[in-house]
């Protein structure tokens, strides 16, 4: 009999344990679910806004820089025209031969037109002569001993550099001054009055 009573009391204890657990308030459960869903919606909206901005930036970059490869190739052709004009002797330019004059004028016009079209599409030359050497924009080819110029100043441009937007298509190949006074940046001036 004892075992039946123990079994009955064991069932009663289980039932009492289940009944003793506090009942979850349905209003509180709905509030918690509402807060969780609101948080999810806000996170999704923020994620979508970030995606939209990133896509807009990618589209703008693609528009700006899509012609980079083509422009780099066109720079080679423009350089060839410039070199052709540089190697012409002065007597060829002042020649009385109309054919030679027409040829020279045609090469000059073609070179100017290519430069104009590159500029129209955002390809601009990099200023180098007289500037402080910048490894992001310039490629040093040699050093020039010059005590009159600050050290690290570009003193000669061998080949012009070009940029499209804020990206360098081709760095300027330059000669850099060596042996002059060092650059003293104005924004790093030291206050000696303290």
Is position 145 within any domain?
Answer: yes
CA distances from 84 to 80, 81, 110 (A): 6, 5, 12
Residue 141 sits in which domain range? 123-183
pLDDT at residue 184 greater than cutoff 60:
no
Please report whether residue 172 resides in a domain: yes
Give me the CATH number covering residue 138. 2.30.22.10
Residue 27 lies in a domain: no
Question: Quick check: is 11 in a domain?
Answer: no
Query: pLDDT of 130-139, one tens digit each?
Result: 899 999 999 9
**Residue indicated by tokens 């079994």:** 7
Q: Are 118 and 71 in contact (CB under 8 A)?
A: yes
Confidence class of residue 91 from pLDDT cuts 50, 70 and 90? confident
Residue 50 lies in a domain: no
Q: What is the Cα–Cα distance from 71 to 143, expressed in whole angstroms?
A: 29
> For residues 127 and 162, what is the distance between their CA atoms, to the nearest angstrom?
9
166 — pLDDT class (breaks 50, 70, 90) = confident
pLDDT band at 95 (very low <50, low <70, confident <90, very high): confident
The domain tally of the chain equals 1
Whether residue 143 is contained in a domain is answered as yes
Q: Helix (H, G, I), strand (E, B), or coil: what is residue 42?
A: helix
Angle between helix 68-86 and 98-120 (nearest 10): 150
């Amino acid at each position: 009999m004892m075992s039946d009573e123990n079994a009955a009391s064991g069932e009663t204890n289980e039932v009492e344990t289940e009944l003793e657990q506090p009942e979850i308030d349905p209003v509180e459960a709905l509030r918690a679910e509402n807060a969780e869903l609101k948080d999810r919606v806000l996170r999704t909206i923020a994620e979508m806004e970030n995606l939209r901005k990133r896509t807009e930036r990618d589209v703008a970059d693609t528009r700006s820089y899509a012609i980079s490869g083509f422009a780099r190739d066109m720079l080679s052709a423009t350089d060839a025209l410039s070199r052709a004009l540089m190697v012409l002797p002065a007597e060829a330019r002042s020649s009385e031969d109309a054919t030679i004059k027409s040829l020279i004028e045609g090469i000059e016009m073609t070179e100017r037109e290519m430069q104009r079209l590159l500029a129209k599409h955002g390809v601009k030359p990099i200023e180098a002569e007289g500037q402080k050497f910048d490894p992001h924009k310039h490629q040093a080819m040699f050093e020039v001993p010059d005590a009159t110029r600050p050290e690290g100043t570009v003193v000669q441009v061998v080949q012009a550099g070009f940029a499209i937007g804020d990206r360098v298509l081709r760095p300027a190949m330059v000669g850099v001054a060596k042996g002059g006074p060092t650059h003293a940046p104005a924004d790093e001036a030291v206050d000696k009055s303290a």
